[in-house]
Structure 1
């Protein structure tokens, strides 16, 4: 699926991924390929990007929103900083 991460300043990431785990207002949730369409609010926390089945990357994000539609995931957040440490 295609993932795009946007902040007010720039596009932080765009690429094909296996899945993504995000901090939602009711707790963490995952979006995988062929996920149903949805829009959800995000809280500050860590986003885990599953680059493939065995490799991950992490971003510390500020609050925002996610939209999932037709295997396209768009993350709109106030800030997103790459990190190599899982929290």
Structure 2
């Protein structure tokens, strides 16, 4: 699955991942390969993802939107605080 995380100012991440977990406005949720198409708003919280080499990454987003379709996940974050 392919993940892209962008803000109005920059591209934060782009690449293949095994899974991603998002701070949805109605609760956190995880996306895996072949996930059904969805669009969800994001609250402030931790977005985590596992890259193909099994490395875990976490960033904090300050709201935004995520779209999942055809094994492509696009996150439009209002702001990202990298830790």
TM-score normalised by the chain length of structure 2:
0.93
1:55 aligns with 2:67: no
The alignment covers a number of residue pairs equal to 83
Other structure's SS at 1:23 match = strand
Aligned-residue CA RMSD in angstroms? 1.2
- Evaluate the alpha carbon distance shift between residue 82 and residue 24 of structure 1 in structure 2; reply closer, same or farther with a 3 A threshold: same
Q: Which has the higher strand share?
A: 2
Residue 4 of structure 1 corresponds to: 4
Name structure 1 gaps, 5 residues minimum.
Answer: none
**Quick one: distance in 1 between partners of 2:82 and 2:14?**
13
Alignment of 1:1-87 (within 5 A): 1-52=1-52, 54-83=54-83
In terms of mean alpha carbon deviation, does 20-29 or 50-59 score higher? 50-59
- Whole-angstrom CA distance in 2 between matches of 1:34 and 1:57: 21
